[in-house]
Amino acid sequence: MSFLSAVTQKSNGKGIYYLCAKDTDGKPVWYYLRVNALKLAIFEKSLQKISDLADWGEILASGFGERSPNYFRRKMQEEYGFVHKSD
């Protein structure tokens, strides 16, 4: 069973995903994941079945809460060109 509750968005062609989920205790968590380019197509098709994000790429940042803090949003934009849509 997957722990991911939603994929909120991904970056333009860089394979970086912003994911929202619930941990095993039901608490909200968020992740920025850079998906390995060779696994990208399979990742998108398997998203609702994934249980270990580290198998798919590099976790760039993560934390608890409904959304990532502004600090991380700015960092992802500055370092990786990831621009959040309004949420």
Does the CA dihedral 53-84-16-70 come out positive or negative?
negative
Decide if 20 contacts 40 (C-beta within 8 A): no
* pLDDT exceeds 80 at position 87: no
pLDDT tens digit sequence for 35-57: 988 888 888 777 777 778 888 89
| 76 HSE (CA, 13 A, CB side) | 26
What are 9's strand-pairing partners?
18
Region class of 31: left (phi > 0), else alpha (psi between -120 and 50), else beta: beta
Domain ranges within the chain, ordered by starting residue: 4-80
Q: What is the pTM of this model?
A: 0.81
